[in-house]
Amino acid sequence: MMKRAAQLGSGQGGGRTLLLLCALLMWVSRGVAQNVPPTPVPTGATAAPALPALPAGSVPSVAKSQAAPTAVVEPTLPGMQPAQGEEVDRVVAIVNGQLILDSDVDRERRFAALLPYGAEGGPYNRDEAIERLINRDLILQQLQLQPGGEVTQEAAGRDLDALRKSIPTCAKYQCETQEGWDKFLATQGFDEESLTSLWRQRMEVLEFIEQRFRMGIRILPAEIQDYYTNTMLPEYAAQGVEAPPLRTISRRIQEVLLQQRVSKLLDDWLTSLRAQGNVVVLHAGEEVR
């Protein structure tokens, strides 16, 4: 996913890899979103009480985009003079020497619209998108140093087949057909090959996070009981709603606590990588020095 400074003059900013998804973790929220305690059913409602929800978020989407670059601004690299009429991608951040461009931020926006939980993330925020891309680059750099199991294009394709059914806006295009799926992707600036590559690298980042942080974490029965007693029961009591028995939702609570633990470990790790490395965010008007 690397872009070198020499590529800036070519105007092909849409061809670099990336970020977590993620969101890590839409796929890093900065990668993983914080867990929100379950909201009880209001007094007088007839619906069954809500179970604790898994924390939203993901690890950022990662990959080489085949889409055309976005509209770009004047070059910010010192001493660089573009040819007459040539458009140059603007550098928005540098992560240990690797560039994040305006076109990458635009690709992140378009990719977020395809994620199953994209609608839950609220309105698009450019600064948060840049943060996700920075975190994703940091993770991908670690993946190069500590390679794990590679996800194949075929595996990513199978995962995307299931994704078609999870995108509400896909229905009107009849995405169950190849023609409809292609038309929908075109509205987001992707084709199937570029999206599959992006999705494959997203899956690799998620697997890396799973292996590095989730494996070995144990949630003790006392922690589950504490969450149930001190988080769930007071919320249900405040609304005058009877809480479900612990035995019926203990596994759900365990998963919530596990995700919280992974999120904290991941956030601490990314903070450490930033401190050890060299991350620069460039705002409008600033130049690469």
List all residues 6 or more positions away from 78 whose beta carbon is below 8 Å from its beta carbon. 287, 288, 289
Q: Per the structure block, which two tokens stand in for 198? A: 């992006």
Of 278 and 12, the one with more pLDDT? 278
Parallel/antiparallel/unpaired status of strands 91-95 and 279-281: antiparallel
pLDDT of 18 higher than 50: no
pLDDT tier, 205 (very low <50, low <70, confident <90, very high otherwise): confident
Residue 168's SS3 state is: helix
Tell me the C-alpha distance between 82 and 99, whole Å: 18
Give the count of alpha carbons within 13 A of 28, CB side only.
32
pLDDT at 19 over 70: no
Mean pLDDT over 177-204 rounds to 92
Q: What is the arithmetic mean of pLDDT over 96-125?
A: 79
Give whole-number Cα distances, 49 to 36, 53, 285, in Å. 16, 12, 52
> What is the total residue count of the chain?
289
In the block, which residue shows the tokens 């635009």?
106
Whole-Å CA distances, 266 to 18, 136, 155: 19, 12, 25
How high is the pLDDT of residue 101? 95
- C-alpha 180/C-alpha 129 separation (Å) is 28
Single-letter residue type at 99: L
For residue 259, which amino acid is it? Q
Q: Residue 76's pLDDT is what?
A: 43
**pLDDT tens-digit readout, 31-76:** 333 333 444 444 444 444 454 554 444 333 333 333 333 333 444 4
Q: Does the pLDDT at position 113 exceed 80?
A: no
11 dihedral zone (left: phi>0; alpha: psi -120 to 50; beta): left
Nearest-angstrom CA–CA distance, 230 and 247: 16
